[in-house]
Amino acid sequence: MAISLTATCSECYGTVDLDIGPSDQEIKCPVCGHSVPNFATDDYDRIAFHQEKQKKATIFSSAAFGMAIVLFIVFLKFAGGEEVNQAGSMVTAVLSLASLIVSMWQGWLASAEMVVGEF
């Protein structure tokens, strides 16, 4: 599995987005051609693990945010109308708020660690 990261070349100071695979022998700057050996296997695996964790947190955050929107719409349905269902309205309001908080927490986890390289 390839990893994607933003890297800065130590020769030309150009910032580039790189896709690096475990079988690549070296990391090469597309601007000036400067190259360095690829990451060690354990470093590569650590970066790949964190990027996969961020991807899952992003998906979960998006799903929780979508659920918060749906629950808020249901809350508005319960709150409006002639007969107000206070229990249903309160439950959906609390669940909507909880989903929004979970969405923000997972979004924070998804963006908490960013890998930036210099070569």
The tens digit of pLDDT for each residue in 34-55 reads 888 988 888 888 888 888 888 8
Work out the percent of the chain whose per-residue pLDDT is above 70: 88
pTM of the predicted model over 0.75: no
Question: What average pLDDT does this structure show over 69-97?
Answer: 76
Nearest partner of 32 among 11, 4, 57, 53, judged by Cα = 11
pLDDT of residue 6: 85
pLDDT band at 83, cuts 50/70/90?
A: low
Using only the alpha carbons of the chain, give its radius of gyration. Answer: 22
The domains of the chain are located at: 1-39, 53-113
Say how far apart CA 111 and CA 51 lie, in whole Å: 10
Work out the percent of the chain whose per-residue pLDDT is above 90: 0
User: Across-strand partners of 76?
Assistant: none
